[in-house]
Amino acid sequence: MRHPGQPILWDRTLKRTRFDYRREVGDGLDSSVVTAPIFWIQRALPEATLALEFTNEDGAKEDLEHHEMLDLIQNPNGYYGDIALWMATILSFLVDGNAYWIKVRNGYGKPTELWWVPWWMIEPKAPIDGSDFIEYYEYTPGTGLGRMPLDPADVVHFRHGINPRNLMKGLSPLDGVIREIFTDLEASNFVASLLRNMGVPGVVISPKGGAMPAAEDVEATKTWFKQAFGGDNRGGPLVMGAPTEVSSYGFDPKAMDLSEGRDVAEERVCAVIGVPAAVVGFGAGLQQTKVGATMKELRELAWQNGVLPYGNMLADELKRSLLPDFQRGAARKQKLRLYWNTENVVALQEDENKRTERKLKEFDSGAITLFDYYQRTVDRFSAPEALVGDSRSLRRATACKWPIRAKAETDTSVRPSCEYCNKVRGFGENRGFQTPHFTVPSSPALALAVPSA
């Protein structure tokens, strides 16, 4: 396979303009329209837990309680933990489309430390002839040591997809909303400049009677007026030493309402990141909650469209470039799946009333046992102590179907559909039912049900 080699230098200016919006916006870290949704995802992702699932010999799937890779991620180095590591990774992943971890190995080649590296300090490099996809990573720590080449095996490179302009890197989600970010920055600067330079509405001070003040008097009056009525002194009384006309000169704040333009920026930035604006707290999104969408539904949508997809991308790269370092010899044959356990994510928890109602219907239909009902609606450890052994398979009596008594007594080929009737009631010996074996209970709390097969 012949690879493209080093990417061609593309023109970074946006279409239909010669103004370099990307250079003006920079990394976007000083823009609230960028940091607000990113910070929300940074806080949300640690609610889930990175877990490893393996398939045993019977085909059943179980979670590994302890694994060297998971232990390393939880304690990546001696200076910060896994939450800080994931928050920094999310920041790089969403701002630049790329996030990098550097592995520090021991004498046996096993990773013992993980370090997050900002995206501007590291760059994948390819050979000019395209003989390899990535030859090395160029690391610039800025400590006077110059540029350091890193083996690709010592770098965990998280990519947000693949950038068509540079196949070795991912594509930033923010790349398509640079203008909107710039618009929000300019609106913020405009309002801030007005408040900074016009502590009170701009005024025109002119002497009455046709007197012409000297230039020095004009400057002195202007300086005095700013000091006396600007900043924290706004609203103070004005007393002039001579007949003077003071007229307001400024703009109506309502005429300078920039909220619509800023709403567009909020909506589009949140859209490309995958988080509803209302969840972040933006005004543009809060208007949406008035037309039917509840905050709970929006939080769940933020997890489904934003947090979980990003988490799956990160887990997929870990499985490719970090997990094999801990699978050597016979361990390589073990089938492992890396995923995010969301049991403790509040936004994804089903409403208690809805869950209880749904499980009750499943119990009524015979789909689950009484023990399962208690486990899944109350607590896995709060099922009645009486439900042990065979009693754990108690179901509704209506879930057990049996043939008509007369036909069962005359036809030995007819068997009840309930294995309990065959095995426990001795159908094969007595060739029929002595009495109906159980009555239909009125509530799951009444253990008047039939054991399932």
Walk along the chain (453 residues) and give the pLDDT tens digit of each residue. 777 776 766 656 777 788 888 889 988 899 999 999 999 999 999 999 999 998 877 777 888 878 999 999 999 999 999 999 999 999 999 999 999 999 999 999 999 999 999 999 999 999 988 889 999 999 999 877 789 999 999 999 999 999 998 999 999 999 999 999 999 999 888 888 777 766 555 677 777 776 777 788 778 877 877 777 666 666 666 666 667 777 766 666 666 677 777 888 999 999 999 999 999 988 765 665 555 568 888 899 999 999 999 999 999 999 999 999 998 766 666 788 999 999 889 888 876 667 778 878 887 777 777 777 776 666 544 555 545 554 555 665 555 544 444 444 445 454 444 544 444 444 444 333 333 343 334 444 444 344 444
- Token output for 246: 């003071």
Angle at 30 (CA atoms; ends 26, 31), nearest 5 degrees: 90
Provide the token pair at 446. Answer: 């009444």
Which residue stretches of 198-276 are H helix?
215-229, 259-273
* DSSP helix/strand/coil, 124: strand
H-run or E-run covering 207:
strand 203-207
Burial of 422 (0-12, 13-18, 19+ CB in 10 A): middle
Count of other CB atoms within 10 angstroms of residue 107: 6
pLDDT at 143: 75
Helix (H) or strand (E) holding 156, with range, is strand 155-159
Measuring CA to CA, how many Å separate 12 from each of 86, 119, 130, 165? 29, 18, 24, 11
Question: For position 94, what pLDDT does the model report?
Answer: 97
Q: Which residues on neighbouring strands pair with residue 61, listed in sequence order?
A: 55
Q: Which long-range contacts (CB under 8 A, 24 or more apart) does 329-333 make?
A: none
Q: What integer pLDDT is reported at residue 252 of this predicted model?
A: 62
* Residue 141 per-residue DSSP state: -
Q: What are phi and psi of 12, to 5 degrees?
A: -85, -5
Fill in the DSSP letter of residue 154.
Answer: G
Give the separation between CA 396 and CA 443, rounded to whole angstroms. Answer: 9
Question: What is the reported pTM?
Answer: 0.72
DSSP per position, 96-121: TSEEEEEEEE-TTS-EEEEEEE-GGG
- Angle of the 178-197 helix axis to the 32-44 helix axis, nearest 10: 120
d(CA 428, CA 426): 5
Please list the helix, strand and coil fractions of the chain in percent, rounded to the nearest 5, in that order.
Answer: 45, 15, 40
CB 299 within 8 A of CB 308: no
Strands (E), 7-129: 49-55, 61-63, 98-105, 111-117, 122-125
Beta pairing partners, 150: 137
Q: Are 408 and 414 in contact (CB under 8 A)?
A: yes
- 40 near 32, Cβ under 8 Å? no
CA dihedral over 115, 118, 123, 124, signed as positive or negative: positive
Helix boundaries (H) for 339-399: 352-364, 370-377
Q: Which amino acid is at 27?
A: D
Q: Contacts by 239-242 with C-beta closer than 8 Å and gap 24+?
A: 242/207, 242/208, 242/211
Q: What is the pLDDT of residue 416?
A: 47
CB contact set of 134 (below 8 Å; sequence gap of 6+): 124, 125, 126, 152, 168
For the chain, domain boundaries: 1-198+259-349, 199-249, 352-451
Return the C-alpha torsion angle 38, 39, 41, 47, nearest 10. Answer: 170
Distance of CA 419 to the CA centre of its chain: 48
